[in-house]
Every structure is written in structure tokens, then in C-alpha cells.
Structure 1
């Protein structure tokens, strides 16, 4: 009957143990070989600038929000980030658990037993009460670390969304550039054929023929460079979306992002640290370290361990009592760990302030760059309209025989340069808006609140 409590305790302990399950590795790629059909609401993705948008790619391709949704769900790097968040939550769970008590047992046997001698033993449970003093602080640190991991994951999702938008913009705008270059190439190819025929009849000079051929070769070079860029961007997009390189990703040609509201931007700037997941993650990390600093200070006090003992010696004399173990803080006093935790907390404090300063600087820089590019784009569009009118007049004069081919080719080259400038500026402004939406957390109302996180 005396063995029953011990047997029952061991049975219950074994019943709560975890069991091993194998997780084999795979040596083959696990890309998706086609665009999946998903049913995910964007309000579950944690990015405030994504409006409600069901993932339903049509025959005309994916729009910018479709690409962002697919990137968040299937990006390989985000899968690893979610695993990291799972580790952080497991560590927080581990920190929240109370330490187990200890049970010590020993037995004594006489090598030459006397008559009436018995087997001696000592048995007694004990518990380290000193670990209870730091448990609350370390558990709090674990919770803040879990919050930090979740917020870092959210911030990484924002970056993936921004990267998906950038790739979408660059591919669509790059296709616009290819279309313009294709029109110019067809036009110049016709002119080169005409010039070659006129040169064979000695109706024009060699310099006119060379100018036409040089212009065509230059457009061919620009086309090849643009095609290489598109190929790289397409592969980058497939990698971001977790798709096999051979999977075609049709994209819509619509590229639209909200205009920047300066007044609303000023209001957003006032609460920027409460919107940015990376800043909130740094704050949670600082709070976790502050809890560790508190735990290190508490740990300088004497560690107390109390146990009960029950014993019988080999003379068959039984006894029971208790033992107390108390550390003496004379030399160490945990001063080294306190200094480390304090210095680490100072470093996190400075890192948070530096990141806040950088966040405001990034927003200010992007807003000013947007204004500069807006003025430049306005002037480029005015120049483009003038060039289009000049081109129409030149074509009319050329058709009437009042201008030579060289003037027409130079006009086309100037028009192409202005078209490329306008496309480049429009793409730059769109990319700046993507960056701005990322660093401010979108244009929607405040998503995060300080009260949502452990202080």
C-alpha cells in the first residue's frame, strides 16, 4: 500500500508526456504548379490598406490586390517567419510553466551485515522557492517576446505586400514601355526599308540612311534590355508567390493607388509609432528585456530551497526532518547578469528611438520626392503633348514632301525619349506610394493600440 501513491504519481507523470512523431525531409521542390483558387478575406491578412477583396482571378489576369493576397498566403519566407513566431509562442509557454519539485532517494547497504541490521534509505521531496521569485518576470518577458514575434511577422507580411505591389507595377509599366518600343521599332523598320530603297536609287545621301539604321538599332537595344528586365521581374514575382518558374502569371494592366492626402498624412504622422508593427515589435522587445532586467535584480537575493526528509539507517533507526538550502550572496550576487541585462535594455531603448527617427525621416523623404516627381511628371506630360503635336505636323509635312526623312526620324526619337521619361516618372511615383503605404501602414484608420499589448 505504501508503494501505491508513488506508482500513481509516476503513472500520471508518464501519461502527460509528449510522444515523438517523425517529420521527414523532402528532396524535391514544393512549388505550386498553378495559381491556386483561394477564398480569403483581406481583413484576415493584417494589412490595413487592403480593402475587402475576394481572391477571384479572372480571365484577364490578377490585379494588384490579388497578387498581394497570394504573396501573403504562399510566400516561402513568410512560412519561415510564421515558424519563428510559433517558436516564440512555445518559448513563452515554457516560461509560463512553474518549475517541477524534486524527489531525492538513496539507499544504504552494509557490506557485512550484523544480525538485526536493516537496509537504510533516505527519501525526501524538495522545492526551489527561489525560482518562484523570478517566475513572474520571466513569464512576462516570454509574453512580450511572443508579441514581438507576431508583430515582426506582421511587419514582414507588409514588406512582402509592398514587394508584390512593386513587382506588379514594374511588370505592368515595363510592358507599357515594351509596347511603346514595339511601335517605334515598327515605324523605324518601315523607314529603314524606305531609306534603303531610296539610297539604292541614289535619292538620298548615306548619312540619312545611317541615321535611320542607328535609330532602329538603338530601339532594338532598348527593347532587348526591357525584355531582360521583364524576364527577371517575372521570375522574381513567381519566387515571391511561391510558384514554379514556368507558371505564367497574367496581370491586369490597371495600376492605381490612392492619391496622397497631405492633411490626413499629418494626422497619421502623429500616431505613426502606434501603427508600425516593427516599432511595436521593438517596444515589445524592450518590455521583454525590461522584465529580464527585473528578474536579474530579483535573482541577486538568496536562493531558497526547502525539502522534507524521511530516513532509516542500517541499525533500523527511523527518522524524519527537513532541510533548507540558502545561497549566500557574498561574492557574485548576480552582478554580472544584472550588468548584462541592463546594458541590453539600454541598447534596445536606443534602437527603438533610432527606428522612430528613421520612420519619420522616411515618410518626410517620400513625401518630398513625391512632390518633386509630380512637378517633373507634369512638365514631362506637357512636353509629351507638344511632341505629339509636333510629330503630327512633321508627318503631315513629310507626306507633302516638304521635309526629309532625317527630320522625321529625329522627331520620332525625341518623342520616344519623352514617352520613356513619362513612363519612368509615373512608375517612380507609383513605387513611392507603395513605399509610403508600407511605412505608414496604409491610409485606413489606426489598426493597433498600445492597450492591445502587454505593458
Structure 2
């Protein structure tokens, strides 16, 4: 019993779900709750497709009239079926097929946007973790400098103000690291629902930021919302043709049979009957569906103009994202390969000069702060490059799994 109580009193450790940057897209596709719900719209469209393009059910009529002094007993049976004399049924089937395609494209477009958003969060988290690591390295250096200044101040070789200033700089870096940790927590809170991770479960984004490689040029016409706009334009044209086909209502045709029987004075019964064919043709004198035809034509033109506007917007997004990628890649390389090595070398020289008493602490701290800002700016440029790449791939529809 004691062992059981001891086991139950031990702390429990939650399972940490770990995801790589390359696996974010697949995880969102399979576990995002919004996508699971959105896929049901495809089944709804397919259900509507099953009931489209079918003839109306035939109607069966029967009537019975009992014998009277002036009329015989009469029984009538009739069956009628309505038939369209236009292309209405074919157009209905074509329209619902286009709407199924539109539903599939709409789900893929939601998927595209959600994956881009999730990948953006993941890139920011990895970049913040690298910023935190940079702050930790800087904090270790600042702590070392603080201890050195404190020991020299105790010996009377340095001013106590230098030791206090070094301690303040160390605390500033620690607070900066805590601020970055808060941002990571906020981003993880937004990312967890997209990955199907419960709020109580830990989540880790592993992997490093990829190299600064410009992607190949991808035609933006394959983007799902543009294809969706094109499909909606075709569906609007079909809908306009369907409205035009309703100018003439369906023709109804059928057969009927009648049987009559009447008693004769001699006690005999005389039975007669006949079979006939009838047809009902509506005359479009007062209503030729002009209102719906005008409405559907205007809707088709609106869809066409919206598709053109979307194409212009996508082309602009694609060009802007590619320019941002190139600018951030150039900035990151210029900072890391040319400027940062000079600043690091100069900082090391100033630190050695401070240790030998050739310069003051403020100059060393200013050089370290400049180095930190450059290293952070280089990381920000790398982060912004990959965020622009995500926007480019989302703009062109070339989202990788």
C-alpha cells in the first residue's frame, strides 16, 4: 500500500509533441479541425449532384364515379410524365458537377491559407529560439565581464560604478530573453490548435532555418483560389444558360384509360372502355423568365471581373514576395559575411583593452550592444526571408508537403 501511495504521489510528466519545420504542412492537412469540417462541404456538393439532372417523377391519377340514373359507372386511370424540351437537365447536371469542383478547390484554398499561417508561426518560433540562444550567449559574456569588473573594483583597480553598470547590462539581457520566451509561448498557443495539439500538451518545433536559397519561378495561375474563381465563372455561365433554358416550361404527356359500365333494363350490363393519349404544352405568353436570365447574366459578368481582379492581385503578391526574399537574403549575407566579422573582431580588441585598463567599460558595453544588434538583425533578415518565401509559395500555390 505504501508503494502504491508513493507511486501515485510522484509527479507526472506530460508528453511533448515534436514537429519539424518540414512536417508542418502534412500535420495541418491531417489534424486541423477546420479542415476536417471544411471537407464536408465537398460531400454536400456531391449529394446535390446526385439529385440533379433527373426527370420529375411521373404522376398517377385515378377517378371513380358510381352509376346513376343519368350516367354509367366510370373508372379512369391516367399516368403523366413531364419532359423538358430544352437542355435544362443536362445543364443542371453540368452545374452541379462544376459546384463539386468548386467545393474541392475551396477546401484546398482553405488548406493553402492555413498551412501558410502555421508555417509562418513555426518559422517565427524557430527564429525566436535562436534569438534566445543568442541572448544567452551574450548574457554569459556579460556575466563574465561583470564578475571581472566586480573583482577589479574590490581591489580598488576599477570604479564600483563600472561593476554596477556591468551587472545592469547582464540583467537587461536576462529580461530580453524572458521577453522572447513570452513571444514563443504566444506563438505556440496559436499554433497548437492548427496542429491538433491540446492546450495542456507541450509542443516543440525542431529543426533549423533552411539556407537562403531562392525558389524557382512558379506560375501563379495554379493557385487554388484563382482556379476557384475560374470555376465559379464557368459555373455562372452554366447557371445563366440554365436560366435561359427555363423560358419554356416542361411538356407533360401521358396515357389514360377509361371503363364504363351500365345496367340495361333486361338485366344485362353493358361495359365499354377506351384508351387515349394526352399532351400538355405550356404557352410562354406572360412569363419567359426574363428576370432570372438578366440576374444570372449579371452574376456571370461579376464573376468574370472578380477573377480578373484576383489574377492581378496574385501577380502583385507574387512579385512583392519574391522581391522581399531577395532583399532579405542580400541583407542577411551582407550583415553576416561582411559587417558582423568586423564588429566581432573590434569587440574582442576592446574587451582585451578593457582588461588591461586601456579603455573604459562604457565603450566595451557599447561595442557588445552593437554586436548584439547586428547578430539579431541578421537573424531577423533570415526569418523575414523565410516568411517571404512562405508568402511566395502560398501566393503561387506551390506549398511543399
TM range (shorter): 0.7 to 0.9
Question: Does the CA-based 8 Å contact 1:101-1:126 persist in structure 2?
Answer: no
Structure 1: runs of 5+ lacking an equivalent: 1-32, 37-60, 445-455
2:52 pairs with 1:95: yes
Of 381-390 and 303-312, deviating more is 303-312
Question: Does the CA-based 8 Å contact 1:101-1:125 persist in structure 2?
Answer: no
What do you get for the CA RMSD once the two structures are aligned?
A: 3.0
What's the CA shift for 1:405?
Answer: 2.3
2:392 pairs with 1:429: no
Question: Does the CA-based 8 Å contact 1:68-1:161 persist in structure 2?
Answer: yes
2:166 pairs with 1:219: no
2:209 pairs with 1:287: no
Q: Deviations over 1:99-125 (max 9, x none)?
A: 243223243455xx6479876444322
3-state secondary structure, aligned to 1:95: coil
Instruction: Check 1:80–1:35 CA distance in 2 against 1; reply closer, same or farther (3 A cut).
Output: farther
2:63 pairs with 1:107: yes
TM-score, normalised by the number of residues in structure 1: 0.74
3-state secondary structure, aligned to 2:207: coil
More strand by percentage: 2
Aligned to 1:55: none
CA distance in 2 between counterparts of 1:220 and 1:438 reads 37
Aligned to 2:323: 368
Out of 124, 129, 135, the residue aligned to residue 78 of structure 2 is 124
Aligned to 2:376: 420
Out of 52, 56, 66, the residue aligned to residue 23 of structure 2 is 66
Q: Deviations over 1:146-199 (max 9, x none)?
A: 111112222222223322322221111110011112222344345556656777
Instruction: Check 1:385–1:280 CA distance in 2 against 1; reply closer, same or farther (3 A cut).
Output: same
Aligned to 1:231: 185
Question: Does the CA-based 8 Å contact 2:83-2:250 persist in structure 1?
Answer: yes
CA distance in 2 between counterparts of 1:346 and 1:409 reads 66
Question: Does the CA-based 8 Å contact 1:34-1:243 persist in structure 2?
Answer: no
Q: Deviations over 1:370-418 (max 9, x none)?
A: 2222332233223222221111112211222222322222222221111
3-state secondary structure, aligned to 1:126: strand
CA distance in 2 between counterparts of 1:280 and 1:207 reads 67
Q: Deviations over 1:43-69 (max 9, x none)?
A: xxxxxxxxxxxxxxxxxx532222221
What's the CA shift for 1:76?
Answer: 0.9
Aligned to 1:310: 257
2:224 pairs with 1:277: yes
What's the CA shift for 1:354?
Answer: 0.7
Instruction: Check 1:66–1:371 CA distance in 2 against 1; reply closer, same or farther (3 A cut).
Output: closer
Question: Does the CA-based 8 Å contact 1:199-1:205 persist in structure 2?
Answer: yes
2:206 pairs with 1:252: yes
3-state secondary structure, aligned to 1:402: coil
Question: Does the CA-based 8 Å contact 1:107-1:121 persist in structure 2?
Answer: yes
Instruction: Check 1:221–1:327 CA distance in 2 against 1; reply closer, same or farther (3 A cut).
Output: farther
Structure 2: runs of 5+ lacking an equivalent: 1-13, 263-270
Question: Does the CA-based 8 Å contact 2:105-2:228 persist in structure 1?
Answer: yes
Q: State the structure with more CA Rg.
A: 2
Question: Does the CA-based 8 Å contact 2:62-2:78 persist in structure 1?
Answer: no
Question: Does the CA-based 8 Å contact 2:212-2:385 persist in structure 1?
Answer: no
Out of 288, 298, 302, the residue aligned to residue 245 of structure 2 is 298
TM-score, normalised by the number of residues in structure 2: 0.83
Alignment length, in residue pairs? Answer: 378
3-state secondary structure, aligned to 1:305: strand
Question: Does the CA-based 8 Å contact 1:257-1:430 persist in structure 2?
Answer: no
CA distance in 1 between counterparts of 2:240 and 2:211 reads 46
Question: Does the CA-based 8 Å contact 1:103-1:123 persist in structure 2?
Answer: no
Out of 352, 359, 366, the residue aligned to residue 396 of structure 1 is 352
Q: Aligned runs of 1:189-204 on 2, under 5 Å?
A: 189-192=143-146
Question: Does the CA-based 8 Å contact 1:109-1:314 persist in structure 2?
Answer: no
What's the CA shift for 1:214?
Answer: 4.7
Of 165-174 and 129-138, deviating more is 129-138
